[in-house]
Amino acid sequence: MANVDKLLEHIGDFGPFQKKMVILGSLPLVLIVFVFVGVVFLGHTPDHWCWSPGSEQLLQECGWTEVKVREVTVPHGEEAGSFSRCQTFAVNWSQSWNRCEEFEQELTLNGSHAVPCDGRWMFDKSHKTTVSEVAWFL
């Protein structure tokens, strides 16, 4: 311990050179902070609902919009006007449907039977966030 005391006496106190080194060493950290804080604003989870295996089929063959597909394939949530984020209607997608109206009637009649999501979601496309972009890769 005596050697350390002698070394500190020889080096000297915290002077102007040490202050410059601390400031220059801290500048990169200050800039990186903005990257870490940006995740708070970019990581917002947009409105989302369960993906149904036949959603693309309804969009292409029936010419429905995503809003109509969501209204028909996803049960309503607890809040008024919202849709469930964790459930979708149980639909036999392998059954052939002659007309889109017939399919809509079947879904309306089957509306009481909901099943949990299979792990895929559709996101509101009004704006993009890191959450909606990364979810496509999962």
Write the pLDDT tens digit of every residue in 77-136: 776 667 777 888 777 766 665 667 776 666 666 555 788 887 787 877 777 777 667 655
Residue-wise pLDDT tens digits, 44-92: 777 778 887 777 777 887 788 888 888 777 777 776 667 777 888 777 7
Q: pLDDT value at position 54? A: 75
Task: List the end-to-end C-alpha distance of the chain, in Å, as a whole number.
Answer: 56
Q: Would you say residue 34 has pLDDT above 80?
A: yes
Phi–psi pair at 7, nearest 5 degrees: -65, -45
Task: Give the three-class secondary structure for 87.
Answer: strand
Provide φ and ψ at 31, rounded to 5°: -70, -35
Give the whole-angstrom CA distance, residue 133 versus residue 121: 12
Q: Are 49 and 135 in contact (CB under 8 A)?
A: no
Q: Which helix (H) or strand (E) holds 19?
A: helix 16-42
Residue of 79, 65, 78 whose CA lies nearest to 122: 65
